């Protein structure tokens, strides 16, 4: 059976924390020695997003292996979105890389996925697995977003609501209904903050950032590049680009950035 476009499931965690994570995996072209690609999606996004699907087409045409998956509480995976944390989604990302891939990989992370890609790179280096990574392509990377881009921007009234009820409903430009931000997401996210010091990936990094991005300001990307001063970093600023960077010209930039690392 061809599983390339059929969701499969991987169990992450154990006991009461076990959850089934949906993924799709494209096998490499026979005989190819090119690195594979792993897609790390954004907050409330899924593996069927425009950019994820575009990279699947690129992988098919280039012969690269490709893995994309849904975090718990997202898409086809088990779990409630409100129960999700950065630590849980990091565990799922690491498991996807360790279990579903073979050989060096390029992590392509969008928004929250950019933060997770950096955390995956750190974890792999700390466990002696740095050779698993060929490079990182980060699209509007929302590093430390729970603290710097959400909590720091909240009004006193919103913070009070969050502290009292444990949940704050945040309006979204991408959905008609507000989505819940939990106190657990904010508090647990503080265990994974990166911008307080030097960030190491031990591989090349290419950042794609729209200058009209209202969710992750473009100067945030330049700050990230400064913190990556010990690794090779390229930064592409798209003057008229928004947060999603999913227009045809943006997708061309994405596949070109991945191809340069391949």
DSSP state, residue 4: T
Residue 79: CB partners within 8 Å, gap ≥ 6?
Answer: 19, 72, 73
Instruction: Give the C-alpha separation, 56 to 140, whole Å.
Output: 20
Task: Give me the active site residues, please.
Answer: 111, 213, 243
Q: Is 38 exposed, middle or buried (0-12, 13-18, 19+ CB in 10 A)?
A: buried
Q: In this structure, what is the dihedral angle of CA atoms 82, 177, 144, 162, given to the nearest 10 degrees? A: -60
Helices (H), 166-246: 183-189, 218-227
């Amino acid at each position: 059976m061809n599983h390339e476009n059929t969701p499969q499931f991987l169990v992450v965690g154990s006991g009461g924390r076990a959850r089934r994570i949906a993924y799709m995996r494209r096998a490499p072209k026979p005989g190819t020695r090119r690195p594979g690609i792993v897609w790390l999606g954004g907050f409330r996004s899924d593996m069927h997003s425009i950019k994820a699907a575009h990279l699947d087409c690129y992988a098919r045409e280039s012969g690269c292996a490709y893995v994309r998956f849904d975090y718990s509480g997202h898409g086809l995976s088990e779990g409630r979105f409100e129960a999700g944390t950065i630590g849980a989604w990091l565990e799922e990302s690491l498991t996807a890389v360790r279990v579903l891939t073979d050989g060096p990989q390029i992590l392509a992370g969008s928004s929250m996925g950019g933060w997770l890609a950096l955390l995956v790179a750190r974890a792999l280096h700390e466990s002696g697995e740095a050779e698993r990574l060929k490079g990182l392509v980060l699209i509007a990377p929302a590093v430390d977003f729970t603290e710097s881009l959400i909590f720091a921007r909240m009004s006193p009234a919103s913070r009070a609501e969050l502290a009292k009820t444990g949940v704050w409903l945040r309006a979204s430009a991408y959905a008609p209904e507000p989505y819940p931000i939990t106190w657990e997401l904010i508090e647990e996210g503080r265990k994974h903050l990166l911008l307080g010091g030097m960030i190491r990936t031990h591989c090349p990094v290419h950042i794609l950032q729209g200058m009209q991005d209202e969710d992750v300001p473009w100067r945030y990307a330049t700050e990230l590049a400064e913190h990556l001063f010990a690794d090779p970093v390229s930064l592409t600023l798209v003057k008229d680009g928004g947060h999603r960077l999913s227009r045809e010209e943006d997708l061309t930039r994405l596949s070109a950035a991945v191809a340069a690392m391949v």
